[in-house]
Amino acid sequence: MSKPNPQRLHLVFGGELVNPGRTEFKNVEDIHIVGIFPNYATAYSAWKAEAQRTVDDAHTRYFIAHLHRLRDEEREVSPTEELGD
């Protein structure tokens, strides 16, 4: 019997940033939640569509969060996984 593959959930979200050079949102209440996706490929497609839709707005950015990494509370996060630094 084969072992099932672990589920790798990804959240795609974005919104207007205070400054295009940082990852601080102007208004957290206005963050656009695109959705949760079962794998990176579908999350990337959703991210790309939103990024292209807002390409003319330098203050708007979209991100992919790896939700499966959040489930392992014992694992230390890397600086690239923390927003707002």
pLDDT per residue as tens, the chain (85 positions): 666 666 789 999 999 999 999 999 999 999 999 999 999 999 999 999 999 999 999 999 999 999 877 765 566 655 544 444 4
Can you give the pTM of this predicted structure?
Answer: 0.75
2, part of any domain = no
**Residue 77 pLDDT:** 57
4, part of any domain = no
Domain, as residue range, for 17: 10-81
Instruction: Report the domain count for the chain.
Output: 1
The separation between CA 66 and the C-alpha centre of its own chain, rounded to angstroms, equals: 7
Give the CATH number, domain containing residue 62.
3.30.70.2400
- How do strand 32-37 and strand 60-66 relate by DSSP bridges? unpaired
20, part of any domain = yes
